[in-house]
Structure 1
Amino acid sequence: MPGARTPEANDRDLGLDFAKGVLITLVIVGHLIQYVVYRDEGFWESPCFKWIYMFHMPLFMAISGYLSWRALLRKSFTQAIGDRAMQLLLPMLFWYALLETAKLAAFSSSASEPGSVLQCLNDSAGTYWFIWAAFVSFLLVKILSIFNRRSPWILFVSVILVALAPVTFSISPLIRYTFPFFCLGVSFAQSREWWTSITRSHKPLLITFLSIAALVCFLAWRKDTYIYNNLALVHDMQSAKNVLLMLLGSAAASAIVIVLVLQCWKVGRSNRVTRFITVELGQSTLLLYLIQSTVFRLMDSIQYGELWDLTTRLAVAGILGGAIVAVALMVRWIVRDIPYLSQLVLGAPPRSACLKYQPADN
């Protein structure tokens, strides 16, 4: 692939890039199912939507935790948090500003007075919740690493404390849901040899058990199992079952999917489609997430598709999904070599700087 950086060009794990490319594709597909294929509550019962939402964000968060470990370990507190804010929050604010500008231009006649800073933060959190969740998770683990860098127990205790926090403001339930997976990724990065030695000798049995567990959870998964509906709150036996099913199902499905995806990478790494998913999509996940979140939040503000039949909706979903990917790749190609603009739009320094100075974490 012309212009693509290969495994020899830096220390990236392209298997994880391929996994991220698959996951961001599923994020877009999941939103297309919700916003285009279904225009009512029916998407909760969609088998495809259910399958995607069992694992895509938990696994994304686990990979984020795994890849964040070097920054957590090697960088000072202020440098680590500053770098992560520049990587995640700065481009998020840029795309949020574009979203608000588009809404103002499209609906200027009915636009209300500008909201407060708190309202803007709440709106941006709702639109780009995963960015905030990843940043907060990184911040919490970095604070914990100040006291003890390598003890797995401190991560376990932090997961329990976060899970028990009875907070439902804004995206706090989503953080409680994804934080354990971030910590699991950090733990795997900390003790990769230990985890590998445990799983290697019992791998077939473990995969069989996890596959059965994931299938059972899939069959039992209902509308109230989604984090968006149960808010990870336990107030009676039924809510406890829903939260437990959600966490166990997400963990089992994430484990099976990452094994399958990495195996697909090993088998098909020379395939052009695999390379495209790896280099173009997997290394543009932040940009793709920001653009698709902006597009779908804008779609919340307009009326469309009430009279479309299923064929039309599927066609529109395919066109819109392709357009999101095309726009993201075009934006990346335009700004990736421009100082300051690359950091602002993509959350990364220009390619020349990346090639000269290898990043501490990918």
Structure 2
Amino acid sequence: MTDKKKRELLPDVLRGFAICLVVLGHCIQEGSGEVYKLQEAYFDDRLYQLIYSFHMPLFMLVSGWLGWYSMRTTDDRREQLQILGRRVPSLLIPIFGWTALDSSRHFLMNAYYGYPHAGLGQGLLQYIVNSLENLWFLWAVFWCFLIVWCMHYWFHDALWLYIVGFLMMFFIPDGLGLGAYKYMLPFYIIAFYFHEGMAERYNKEDAISRLCKMICNVYEQAPIVLTLAAGLVWILLFAAFFNQDAFIYLTGYKLLGKDITRQLAIDGYRFIIGLSGSCFVILLWKDILQQRKGYGFPVFSCLGRNSMGIYIVSGYVIMLGIAEFTQGIEPSYAVNLAEMLIVLLVSTGFTEIIGQIPAIGRLVGK
């Protein structure tokens, strides 16, 4: 099997591994008993913390890596808009579609129990707000893709404009998920610009171009010591400093109204531990796949190909199933692992079935 084919196995395997972590984290949060959930004890759970130290940055790095394939070198404005037109619906249709299903479910439940209905205007406003808050990671990918698309085609990847943009993000409010989107953006940008294909198409010899080429070469030839070093940095940072402040949901991203030095330290720590943990996992899986002579892991590859659908459907399986049936239990990792396997099996099966139906397949990313 050629090196190119081996490399193509890696994104799906990484997404498959990452979606397992996503589901396990949600099972720890929702499937460890009602008392555990109400007390938000999961924020102090070390396994939960370990997962959340890097799993979403890992997903965003893979998204940025794959995002490079979507943006070909073209000066034709029509083709550029076609690229945007293909990617945007694949992210927004699931968001607005599942929010519509949620709204319909709530409407029917209110009708069944005789609760009063909201007026048309209020209902529409609530639908828009719910859509903006629903499936936050898809929104993050959407905004990251849109920003990089604009920078790539309209501003020729201007470094100074990226720097200005990052400085401005510290002063933009964190509401409606913006804090998480700002946290995710650097990972998408890093993976997009350091994709090995980016170095191949660079004909310039400026500092940024040379840096891209150097990092891509290091990635291709990375010795095992580099993998171990990334893992060591990640574990040491986690063991020494990770606490509730590291959760983007709790401390946000902006600087306004906060202790600036402390918030900058939190934002910087979050980025470094997310990047080091993700690099360790990426390099480790790359080494494993190389040792297997390019033969992948079919289960992880299958989960990776269905990761968007699993991300969406698993939320409903956990909320309507796992959380309801585990209210009285005590926290147990063994139970959480069993829950994860059940959720993955059900969500993957549902995604595969729905994906075969042309009219609604896009709801699960097909």
- Report the TM-score, using the length of structure 1 for normalisation: 0.80
In structure 2, list runs of 5 or more residues that go unmatched: 200-211
- Which position in structure 2 is the counterpart of 1:122? 129
Partners of 1:269 and 1:124 in 2: how far apart?
44
- Structure 1 residues 77, 204: closer, same or farther in 2, change over 3 A? same
- Which position in structure 2 is the counterpart of 1:330? 349
Other structure's SS at 1:232 match: coil
Is 1:96 the equivalent of 2:99? Answer: yes
- Structure 1 residues 259, 101: closer, same or farther in 2, change over 3 A? same
- Which position in structure 2 is the counterpart of 1:351? none
- Which position in structure 2 is the counterpart of 1:309? 330
**Any idea what the Cα deviations from partners look like across 1:21-60, whole Å, max 9, x if unmatched?**
0001110000111111242221111111111111111111
- Which position in structure 2 is the counterpart of 1:360? none
- Which position in structure 1 is the counterpart of 2:266? 242
- Which position in structure 2 is the counterpart of 1:55? 54
Partners of 1:60 and 1:162 in 2: how far apart?
24
- Which position in structure 2 is the counterpart of 1:166? 172
* Per-residue deviation, 1:345: 2.7
- Structure 1 residues 166, 332: closer, same or farther in 2, change over 3 A? closer
Q: Match of 2:45, as an amino acid?
A: S
- Structure 1 residues 88, 297: closer, same or farther in 2, change over 3 A? farther
Q: Match of 1:143, as an amino acid?
A: C
Partners of 1:314 and 1:11 in 2: how far apart?
34
Partners of 1:162 and 1:285 in 2: how far apart?
32
| Most deviating of 126-135 and 11-20 | 11-20
Q: Percent identity?
A: 21
* Per-residue deviation, 1:165: 3.8
Partners of 2:269 and 2:157 in 1: how far apart?
30
* Per-residue deviation, 1:154: 5.5
Tell whether the 8 Å contact from 1:232 to 1:243 is kept in structure 2 after alignment: yes
| Most deviating of 199-208 and 91-100 | 199-208
**Any idea what the Cα deviations from partners look like across 1:194-236, whole Å, max 9, x if unmatched?**
3132456775564454333212320211101111111112332
- Which position in structure 1 is the counterpart of 2:300? 277
**Any idea what the Cα deviations from partners look like across 1:213-262, whole Å, max 9, x if unmatched?**
21232021110111111111233222222222111111111111111122
- Which position in structure 2 is the counterpart of 1:251? 275
- Which position in structure 2 is the counterpart of 1:26? 21
- Which position in structure 1 is the counterpart of 2:64? 65
Partners of 2:7 and 2:350 in 1: how far apart?
22
* Per-residue deviation, 1:63: 0.8
Tell whether the 8 Å contact from 1:127 to 1:297 is kept in structure 2 after alignment: no
Is 1:195 the equivalent of 2:218? Answer: no
Partners of 1:210 and 1:310 in 2: how far apart?
31
Partners of 1:238 and 1:288 in 2: how far apart?
36
- Which position in structure 2 is the counterpart of 1:77? 80
Tell whether the 8 Å contact from 2:312 to 2:364 is kept in structure 1 after alignment: no
Tell whether the 8 Å contact from 1:55 to 1:251 is kept in structure 2 after alignment: yes
Tell whether the 8 Å contact from 2:310 to 2:351 is kept in structure 1 after alignment: no
Partners of 2:230 and 2:337 in 1: how far apart?
32
Partners of 2:267 and 2:89 in 1: how far apart?
34
Q: Match of 1:140, as an amino acid?
A: I
Other structure's SS at 2:194 match: helix
Partners of 1:167 and 1:58 in 2: how far apart?
21
Partners of 2:345 and 2:303 in 1: how far apart?
10
Q: Match of 2:343, as an amino acid?
A: I
Is 1:211 the equivalent of 2:214? Answer: no
Aligned residues: 335
Tell whether the 8 Å contact from 1:20 to 1:60 is kept in structure 2 after alignment: yes
- Structure 1 residues 225, 240: closer, same or farther in 2, change over 3 A? same
Tell whether the 8 Å contact from 2:132 to 2:176 is kept in structure 1 after alignment: yes
In structure 1, list runs of 5 or more residues that go unmatched: 1-5, 349-362
* Per-residue deviation, 1:132: 0.5
* Per-residue deviation, 1:15: 1.4
* Per-residue deviation, 1:141: 0.7
- Structure 1 residues 113, 225: closer, same or farther in 2, change over 3 A? same
- Structure 1 residues 49, 155: closer, same or farther in 2, change over 3 A? farther
Q: Match of 2:127, as an amino acid?
A: C
* Per-residue deviation, 1:11: 10
- Structure 1 residues 200, 335: closer, same or farther in 2, change over 3 A? closer
- Structure 1 residues 303, 331: closer, same or farther in 2, change over 3 A? closer
- Which position in structure 1 is the counterpart of 2:340? 321
- Which position in structure 2 is the counterpart of 1:359? none
Q: Match of 1:60, as an amino acid?
A: F
Partners of 2:57 and 2:279 in 1: how far apart?
10
- Report the TM-score, using the length of structure 2 for normalisation: 0.79
Tell whether the 8 Å contact from 1:127 to 1:294 is kept in structure 2 after alignment: no
| Most deviating of 50-59 and 328-337 | 328-337
Partners of 1:170 and 1:58 in 2: how far apart?
19
Q: Match of 1:113, as an amino acid?
A: A
Is 1:347 the equivalent of 2:352? Answer: no
Tell whether the 8 Å contact from 2:53 to 2:274 is kept in structure 1 after alignment: yes
